[in-house]
Amino acid sequence: MLERKVWHVLEAWKRGQRHKALMLTGARQIGKTTLVREFAKQHYARFAELNFLTDEHAADIFSGPLNAATIITNLTAYLRTPLEPGSTLILLDEIQECPRARTAIKFLVEDGRFDYIETGSLLGVRVRDVPSYPVGFEEQCRMYPMDFEEFCRANGVQDSTFDMLREHFTARRPVSDSVHRTMLQLFQVYMIVGGMPEVVQRYVDTHDVAQVVALQNDILDLYRLDIAKYAERSDRTKIRAIFDAIPSQLDDHNRRFILTSINANARQNRYANSFMWLADAGVALPCYNVQSPATPLTANEKRSLFKLFMGDTGLLCAETMDNAQFALLQGNLETNMGSITENVISQELTAQGFTPHYFDSKQYGEVDFLVQSGTRVIPVEVKSGNDWTKHKALDNVLHVQEWGLNEAYVLCKGNIVQDGSIIYLPLYMTMFLQPERLPDSMPFTVDLSALE
């Protein structure tokens, strides 16, 4: 099985003292079900699976009273398999298809006999269907397509290589030319293959780009079918138009999504739900402009100005390259890779736990990304060409003292170089940019002696 970082989340969940159900969310085809099956194989004596999308009768288990005794009786009868208390994992797959099962989680967790993992691909767009949410009884985990590190591991890159690269990243010291060239080539392949696990596995098995593109087109067709099936009837045309327009909008000079390009009379308030549908389904990654590069970034958002990236860059390539992927990898094609490179960095930053924003003003220019790490805002510029030392907008914002921007990254094809507050990093080292994490424990006591 392909190695996934979220495996550690599952292990931590199983060790948890307050054992809630685990909810894995994310786009279709990113490997949620496969991951849970393998986890059950290694950590449980018994495993039971219900798929509410492929088994139309599975929802009948939850059609009666929503108490644990009734549900477990129905479940045992339906599955015709013994369920051992304390050593059984039950997977409720594609739970958005059975809203009553989501409500029942509260009673099943309180019962305590079994462990439960729920997976959902379109939970964000089916919120109104759930009668009552199991607040306090679910632990949420968002999954994404495979990031670049996971892709490298699937292709045989060893721990020692990652340790060496991380050491150079920390010390701001260039890596050897041979390693640098190899990692850049791997990153270019990753941009074309993307992180959908089935696609990655096909590439690992065959190294056939034609098969990769065929699978990617199948997934794109599945996403379009989901829009037709799950979106509100009044929104379907708008959502499909936005989804199909993502590549051309990213190809524009400023990457900003312009509504009037798909409908001359379009207004932001009428299309807001359509954009959020794609984001909630995990298909697209919105990146909002901010009024200033200051914390908290979310409080500075201009919701009417945004870029809309594809959730998986490989799928973006399948839509935009017109079967030119192999020629590009061979170096036989001059292609403007700016939009694709920016998309893959957005995907990487999101997978690492950031919520990327961007900054654009007439006075200072545009900075590709801003990310927040603790109380710091870090500008990130993305360069796909050979002019990565030219970044006027980045220089402008770094010189504004009131914003207090002490560090910035330029992600490029070059090796590691630090020039004052600007750190030039190879594109592949985006995998080492991670937000500051809260500690597991933060004890704090107020001294009340002055009140005595």
- The domain that holds 37 is classified in CATH as 3.40.50.300
- Say whether pLDDT at 59 is over 50: yes
Same structural domain for residues 122 and 155?
Answer: no
Looking at the domain assignment, is residue 1 inside a domain?
A: no
Same structural domain for residues 208 and 235?
Answer: yes
Same structural domain for residues 96 and 201?
Answer: no
Most confident segment among 113-122, 216-225, 315-324: 216-225
Same structural domain for residues 211 and 137?
Answer: no
Q: Is the dihedral of CA 422, 427, 429, 431 positive or negative?
A: positive
Same structural domain for residues 282 and 325?
Answer: yes
Q: Is the dihedral of CA 202, 204, 207, 212 positive or negative?
A: positive
Number of domains in the chain: 2
Looking at the domain assignment, is residue 164 inside a domain?
A: yes
CA 432 to chain centre: 16
Query: What is the pLDDT confidence band of residue 171, given thresholds at 50, 70 and 90?
Result: very high
Looking at the domain assignment, is residue 266 inside a domain?
A: yes
Looking at the domain assignment, is residue 437 inside a domain?
A: no
Same structural domain for residues 270 and 412?
Answer: yes
- Say whether pLDDT at 89 is over 50: yes
Model's pTM, two decimal places? 0.90
Looking at the domain assignment, is residue 301 inside a domain?
A: yes
Same structural domain for residues 375 and 256?
Answer: yes
Q: Which amino acid is it at 172?
A: R
Query: Domain end: 142, 168, 203, which one?
Result: 142
Tens digits of residue pLDDT in 244-293: 888 888 876 666 665 545 454 445 555 567 778 888 888 999 999 999 99
What is the rounded average pLDDT of the residues 57-83? 90
SS3 helix, strand, coil % of the chain, rounded to 5? Answer: 45, 20, 35
pLDDT of residue 231: 81
Q: Distance between CA 199 and CA 218 in Å, rounded?
A: 10
Most confident segment among 181-195, 228-242, 328-342, 433-447: 181-195
Give the rounded percent of residues in the chain with a pLDDT score beyond 90: 64
Looking at the domain assignment, is residue 2 inside a domain?
A: no
Looking at the domain assignment, is residue 96 inside a domain?
A: yes
Q: What is the DSSP letter of 174?
A: P
Same structural domain for residues 118 and 181?
Answer: no
pLDDT of residue 331: 61
pLDDT of residue 126: 54
Q: What backbone phi and psi angles, to 5 degrees, belong to 407?
A: -155, 145
Same structural domain for residues 154 and 48?
Answer: no
Q: Over the chain, what is the mean pLDDT?
A: 88
Same structural domain for residues 281 and 356?
Answer: yes
| Candidate from 13-27, 145-159, 261-275, 381-395 with smallest mean pLDDT | 261-275
The residues, any chain, with a CB within 8 Å of residue 341's CB and separated by 6 or more, are 191, 382, 383, 384, 427
Looking at the domain assignment, is residue 191 inside a domain?
A: yes
Query: Domain end: 119, 142, 165, which one?
Result: 142
Same structural domain for residues 289 and 356?
Answer: yes
Residue 128 is part of which domain span?
A: 7-142
Query: Domain end: 78, 109, 142, which one?
Result: 142
| Candidate from 85-99, 269-283, 349-363 with smallest mean pLDDT | 269-283
Q: Which amino acid is it at 112?
A: G
Q: Residue 251: how many CA atoms within 13 Å on its side-chain side? A: 13
Higher pLDDT, 163 or 295: 163
Same structural domain for residues 156 and 85?
Answer: no
